[in-house]
Amino acid sequence: MRRSLKALCFTVVALCVAVGAGYASDAKDAKIKVFIRADSTVVNGQKFVDKDLEDSAQDLRRSPRGFVLAPNEADADLLFVVIKRELQTAQNSTDRRILTVAISTRDSADWKPATVITKNEQVHWSTLAHEWMGEAGKWAKANFKK
């Protein structure tokens, strides 16, 4: 019994290490650098960032899901701009959270709009951001060539 428990523990640890290595290699193999920021409004020449949009940008940065986070916009292959974050309250069901992010690709030194992805779920904001990054990964795999 004791021997089989040790074997089981060893197998579980080995499986966890293998799965972790797989995630690490996915991120390394992708090598798509993204810069994530919140949309801003310009008033009298000054930029103002909405706090809620910035919170969602932070949530996206915490869940890169195979992307590599670029330290600045100039180093990025893709630009993710959080443009909308909305909470729809419902009387008889769970509130829905909506996150809309624009993706741009680099066209020489300029950014060219590529697509807008919206996720609409009954989950926490951080979970919604994690799911959005998964959708962005699918889009990048199908549409982005480095």
Summarised one tens digit per residue, pLDDT across range 68-119 is 999 999 999 999 999 999 999 987 778 999 999 999 999 888 999 999 999 9
Ordered by start, the domain boundaries in the chain are: 1-30, 31-143
| Secondary structure (H, E, C), 8-75 | HHHHHHHHHHHHHHHHHHHHHHHCCEEEEEECEEEECCEEEECHHHHHHHHHHHCCCCCCEECCCHHH
Residue-wise pLDDT for 119-136, tens only, equals: 999 999 999 999 999 999
CA–CA separation, 127 and 107 (whole Å): 31
Fold of the CATH domain 31-143: Rossmann fold (3.40.50)
Give me the pLDDT at residue 107, please.
87
The structure's pTM equals: 0.77
